[in-house]
Amino acid sequence: MKELTIERGFQHLIYDSSDGYHFTIDNDCSLVIEYVNDAPLQVEIQATIKADVKATILYLNHTEHKVDTKETYHVKKDASLTVAYSELMLQPLSHHTSVLLEESGAKASVHSATVAKDRVSYDVKIQHLAPYTQGIMENYGIVMKGDFWYFVATGKFVKGAYQRKSHQTT
């Protein structure tokens, strides 16, 4: 897995292999990750959003091959993470996102807009592991006639995660 430190400001990353990335985000930033592939792609991303940081990540996925993704985000004290997916898929998509709100004041917002011609499977989890956390999920999809769309959106609250806020629209 490649280690990357995301700098302050705007960055654009081309994801064209199956090596995987681990991001450390310790400055406010906006990051665009674009999938480019000539064959089926396995995507693995782990990211840590440090305390008091505001991070926005936009994924662009308009590939013509199957894509399997697995993402994990660790959101620290008073940090804010916004993740958005823009996907136009002609081939199957399997997508797994896990957001861990690990410290007080952590916030996450996950949004997706997908138009798919083939089988789509989404599994999005936001876990509230501390008090005063906030998690929002908004997911929209269109599947062509006769195809399959499977979506699981889960908010999990552990003991002691009081005064948390959670909202989901699908």
pTM, two decimals, is: 0.91
Return d(Cα 168, Cα 26) in angstroms, integer: 28
pLDDT at 115: 86
% of the chain surpassing 70 pLDDT: 99
- What are φ and ψ of residue 36, in 5° steps? -135, 120
Q: What is the DSSP letter of 106?
A: -
pLDDT digits (tens, 9 = 90+) for 78-132: 999 999 998 888 788 888 999 999 999 999 999 998 888 878 888 999 999 999 9
- Percentage of the chain modeled with pLDDT above 90: 44
Q: Are 27 and 4 in contact (CB under 8 A)?
A: no
Tracing tokens 């897995």 back to the chain, one arrives at 1
At 14, is the pLDDT very low, low, confident or very high (cuts 50, 70, 90)? confident
What are the tens digits of pLDDT across the range 22-39?
989 989 999 998 888 777
Torsion of CA 86, 74, 52, 104, to 10 degrees: 120
